[in-house]
Amino acid sequence: MFTTTWCGMRRLKRFSTGRPSRTARVNIEEDEESAAYVMSVNGGNSTVPTLQFPDGTALTNPSPPK
C-alpha cells in the first residue's frame, strides 16, 4: 500500500495492520521511486492510497469491501 502521512484512509490502514507480511506500507513522501510509480498509475497524480498487487495491477482509493 502506497500512502503518505496525510492519507485519510484510516479504515484501509486499520484493515492492513496485522495482515501477512506481504502487506507493506510505503510512504511516497520518503521514497521517490514509489512516488513515481504511484504517479505513473494515477495519470500523473500522487493519489493515495494506491495498492499494488503481485500481478502488477493497481487499485487506487479502494472501498473497504474491495
User: Which residues of the chain carry a pLDDT beneath 70?
Assistant: 9-23, 64, 66
Question: Residue type for 64, please?
Answer: P
Q: At a CB cut-off of 8 Å and minimum separation 6, what does 27 contact?
A: 3, 4, 5, 34
Looking at residue 14, its pLDDT comes to 58
Contact 28, 42 (CB under 8 A): no
Three cell numbers, residue 28 = 511516497
Which residue intervals of 1-66 are DSSP H helices?
10-16, 32-41
Looking at residue 61, its pLDDT comes to 86
Domain ranges of the chain: 2-60
Going from the C-alpha of 39 to that of each of 28, 32, 35, the distances in angstroms are: 10, 11, 6
